[in-house]
């Protein structure tokens, strides 16, 4: 059987995982899965009929391992940002690879939530384009269900790191999980990368090409983007008859790129920061108790944004 991954970049979303996966993929001792976000081990409840990328998942272990059959490297890795959030992912990864090493990236929710909202709007799965209005729907969505395509029940729940990390600690042990704080990664990318390399036991003197990965985007025509990303069932059925999965994926990717432009993310409204401040305070306290992490900088940043 094809050798599969022995380490996983498990999230969280909008915390620098695309960049880190790109840099790891440049390392001569590492082979990274060419498909980021396979989410093979994620909960069916999250990624079944309501998955973010219909048709993209490998449904069997043999199909999943086909992503790795041509990879070279002493270590093989896979990156899927919703593994940290998904309750069943840890158990499935443990069953597949009991000695797996895991990397988790975390970011101040006050900056992570706007980034995730912007991505969901661009993808066409967030119908509420105004950030403050979308965030105000969190409780209602927890009770009644999030829009189709949403992995998290709400924006707030996506970034409850302490609870999510504890579940993985209980399964794999603290020593098997390396945590990268987004602020540290952004401030000293090379240093953070070397720390990950040391954790994985590969040459930490390797210098990857540091480049911008997964910049903020917006759709030129939002309605067209929704149609491309999540076409009606009748359209999907018709396309299956006359095209292959690879050709459909290529067409979807091509049309999406043509309808996309990079856009600097706007200023975070103070009202949004104020609404998220209790979440930040809770995470800072819980992460300090769980792993002794001092995130005073998150509190200072949050207070500054909330005060306008």
Percent of the chain with pLDDT over 90: 66
pLDDT at 128 (0 to 100): 95
* Separation of alpha carbons 191 and 193, rounded Å: 5
| pLDDT above 70 as % of the chain | 77
- Return the residue matching tokens 């993808």: 123
Residue 296 has pLDDT above 70, yes or no: yes
| Model confidence band, residue 237 (pLDDT cutoffs 50, 70, 90) | low
Give the Cβ contact number of residue 213 at 10 Å: 14
Residues 6+ apart with CB under 8 A from 39: 47, 51, 57, 80, 82, 83, 86
User: How far are the Cα atoms of 56, 161, 167, 176, 264 from residue 171, in angstroms, in the given order?
Assistant: 28, 16, 7, 10, 39
Highest mean pLDDT among 46-60, 74-88, 227-241: 74-88
Rounded Cα gap, residues 265 and 292, in angstroms: 32
pLDDT for 93: 97
The per-residue pLDDT of the chain, averaged, comes to 86
With bands split at pLDDT 50, 70 and 90, how would you rate the model's confidence at 44? low
- The per-residue pLDDT for range 262-280, each reduced to its tens digit, is 555 568 999 999 999 999 9
In which band, very low, low, confident or very high, does the pLDDT at 54 lie, cut at 50, 70 and 90? very low
Per-residue confidence (pLDDT) for residue 48, from 0 to 100: 46
The model scores a pTM over 0.75:
yes
> What's the confidence (pLDDT) of residue 262?
55
Tokens of 266: 């706007």
All structural domains of the chain: 7-216+264-306 (3.40.50.300)
Summarised one tens digit per residue, pLDDT across range 62-113 is: 999 999 999 999 999 999 999 999 989 999 999 999 999 999 999 999 999 9
25 and 73 Cβ atoms separated by less than 8 Å:
no
Q: What are the C-alpha distances in Å from 290 to residues 25, 142, 153, 164?
A: 31, 26, 24, 11
Residue 50: per-residue pLDDT: 44
| pLDDT tens string 163-215 | 999 999 999 999 999 999 999 999 999 999 999 999 999 999 999 998 776 65
59 vs 98, which has greater pLDDT?
Answer: 98
Whole-number Cα distances in Å, 89 to 52, 84, 136, 293 = 16, 7, 28, 24
């Amino acid at each position: 059987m094809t050798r599969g991954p022995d380490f996983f970049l498990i999230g969280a979303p909008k915390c620098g995982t695309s960049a880190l996966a790109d840099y790891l993929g440049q390392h001569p001792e590492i082979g990274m899965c060419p498909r980021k976000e396979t989410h093979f081990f994620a909960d069916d409840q999250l990624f079944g009929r309501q998955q973010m990328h219909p048709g993209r998942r490998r449904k069997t272990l043999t199909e999943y391992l086909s992503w790795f059959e041509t990879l070279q490297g002493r270590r093989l890795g896979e990156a899927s940002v919703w593994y940290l959030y998904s309750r069943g992912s840890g158990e499935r990864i443990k069953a597949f690879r009991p000695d797996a090493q895991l990397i988790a990236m975390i970011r101040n929710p006050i900056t992570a939530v706007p980034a995730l909202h912007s991505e969901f709007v661009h993808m066409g799965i967030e119908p509420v384009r105004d950030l403050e209005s979308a965030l105000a729907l969190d409780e209602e969505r927890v009770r009644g269900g999030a829009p189709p395509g949403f992995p998290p029940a709400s924006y707030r729940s996506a970034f409850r790191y302490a609870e999510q990390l504890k579940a993985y600690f209980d399964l794999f042990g603290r020593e098997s999980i390396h945590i990268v704080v987004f602020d540290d990664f952004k401030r000293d990318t090379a240093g953070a990368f070397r720390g990950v390399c040391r954790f994985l036991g590969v040459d930490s003197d390797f210098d990857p090409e540091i480049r911008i990965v997964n910049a903020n985007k917006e759709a030129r025509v939002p309605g067209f983007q929704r149609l491309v990303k999540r076409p009606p069932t009748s359209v999907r059925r018709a396309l299956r008859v006359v095209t292959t999965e690879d050709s459909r994926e290529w067409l979807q990717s091509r049309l999406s790129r043509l309808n996309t432009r990079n856009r600097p993310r706007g200023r975070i409204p103070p009202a949004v920061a104020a609404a998220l401040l209790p979440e930040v305070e809770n995470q800072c306290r819980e992460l300090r108790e769980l792993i002794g992490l001092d995130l005073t900088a998150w509190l200072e940043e949050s207070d500054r944004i909330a005060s306008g």
